[in-house]
Amino acid sequence: MLLISYDIKDDKLRNAFSKMLQSNGAIRLQYSVYEVCHTKRFQDILKMQIETIFKKEFSADDSVMIFDIDPEKTVKYGNAIHRDQDLLIF
């Protein structure tokens, strides 16, 4: 699981970055914090997109951090606990 946090000053770049994360299946946890639960290969592709498309656009005022987290060791509270529960619809 990846946790991606960002603080991007430019509105257009910030919106594009957010849309890219969402279009790649990232789940918004907070305004600028996303959870990515995909295969290692998919996570590597996402990191490569950030590296090749966005990195050159970031300014010295911007901050993007990617945390590689073991989901088995993650503790969640509040509505975050419901994201890991299966949903069955009849």
- Please answer whether residues 1 and 74 qualify as being in contact, where contact means their C-beta atoms are separated by less than 8 angstroms: yes
Report the distance separating Cα 75 and Cα 17, nearest Å.
27
Two tokens, residue 81: 């606990």
CATH number of the domain located at residue range(s) 2-84 in this protein: 3.30.70.240
Which DSSP letter does residue 50 get?
Answer: I
Q: What is the pLDDT of residue 71?
A: 80
- The pTM is what? 0.81
Q: Which residues in 1-90 belong to E strands, given as ranges?
A: 2-7, 27-30, 33-36, 63-68
Per residue of the chain (90 residues), give pLDDT as tens: 899 999 999 999 999 999 999 999 899 999 999 999 888 898 999 999 999 999 999 999 999 999 998 888 888 777 665 566 655 566
